[in-house]
A = this chain, B = another copy of it.
């Protein structure tokens, strides 16, 4: 089928100025990614130069059939690692024809938080550790696990190598390069504690771009698993029992935290987060109660506690930060299926804007 790959890999820039733009949006479940492509007359690098578009919201659970148009607004551009050339990905958010954000559009409210002058002044940075599980197609059992059974207990798999310890590295490595190519600020990858589970990190990203980059990285990952014929899961506890869940630990700092005396600012911020623990937990992802049990490197979902180098806490402060008197901290509560727009903006809102 090499002729098929020849066609897929055609470099069109030799025959036409036209480019292909893949518009990406989030569907009705709040986690399902959708996309479709259109031809544009020439290269574009600025989202504000891209046309708005629309899609059939009645097919994604976002509009009724007799009034089905949902409008997508281009918000961020990335290079398309599959089509390459001058072809692009466009991360969008969704609005009614009247210009109102639809209920599943979490970006709109996040963008408002991030454009508040007090938040802008603090230049909030995010480093998000996205965990995920790879599953065998049709049976939805983790990749590499024997069908009808279980692999040996956790221990050898975290950052492991070898055919009996690392399952699906092809997907992880191609994702890493594809994201770098696309212009996503992907900072690293590692094999996780549960076999078939992996993690990539994106950051540091400023404000709203953290959410844009995570969503596009998720999109690229699912396009790659599609090619590999493997199913991608962001479920926070894919296998019950003595198997780790999957989270999206969110590292955070503000300008004040990064400067001398920042450690005090960090302590105050953590205190505020503790006062809104229930509200945050409610917004940190569906099914998180199956993951946050107090075991498997999590804190119990009903408890808020923090500590230096403590992976069993809700919030962990690194030893470096404690030693330097400034730095960042890690909110370990968000689940792998969290919405990064919601989590990042909520952390900024609670720590910078909210007065207890």
Question: A248 at interface (Cβ–Cβ under 8 A)?
Answer: no
Interchain CB contact under 8 A, A309 and B159: no
Interchain CB contact under 8 A, B232 and A37: no
Find chain B residues with CB under 8 A from A20 CB.
176-177, 180
Interchain CB contact under 8 A, A187 and B59: no
Instruction: Mark the stretch among A75-83, A116-124, A342-350 that contacts chain B.
Output: A75-83
Interchain CB contact under 8 A, A68 and B193: no
In the bound complex, CA of A39 to CA of B185 (Å): 9
Interchain CB contact under 8 A, A8 and B174: yes
Interchain CB contact under 8 A, B97 and A309: yes
Question: A181 at interface (Cβ–Cβ under 8 A)?
Answer: yes
Interchain CB contact under 8 A, B10 and A59: no
Interchain CB contact under 8 A, B162 and A225: yes
In the bound complex, CA of A342 to CA of B159 (Å): 24
Question: How many copies of this chain are found per oligomer?
Answer: 2
For window 63-89 of chain A, which residues contact chain B by CB distance below 8 Å?
65-69, 79, 81-83
Find chain B residues with CB under 8 A from A56 CB.
158, 297, 311
Bitwise interface map of A from 1 to 43 toward B, beta carbon under 8 Å scored 1, else 0: 1111111111010011010100000010000111111110000
In the complex, what's the smallest C-beta–C-beta distance from A332 to chain B, in angstroms?
Answer: 12
Interchain CB contact under 8 A, A187 and B8: no
A-B contact pairs, 17 of them (CB 8 A): A1-B229, A3-B5, A3-B8, A4-B174, A8-B174, A8-B177, A20-B177, A39-B186, A54-B319, A56-B297, A59-B297, A61-B155, A65-B312, A97-B309, A97-B319, A162-B231, A163-B231
Chain A contacts to B: CB under 8 angstroms = 1-10, 12, 15-16, 18, 20, 27, 32-39, 54-56, 58-61, 65-69, 79, 81-83, 97, 137-138, 146, 154-156, 158-166, 169-171, 173-178, 180-181, 186-191, 193, 219, 222-232, 297, 307, 309-312, 318-319
Known: A7-B175, A16-B181, A36-B190. 19 other contacts (CB 8 A): A2-B2, A3-B227, A7-B224, A15-B181, A16-B180, A18-B180, A33-B161, A34-B158, A35-B161, A36-B188, A38-B188, A54-B318, A54-B319, A59-B158, A59-B159, A68-B310, A82-B173, A161-B226, A163-B231
7 closest A-B pairs by beta carbon, nearest first, are: A36-B190, A7-B174, A34-B159, A59-B158, A38-B188, A10-B177, A2-B5
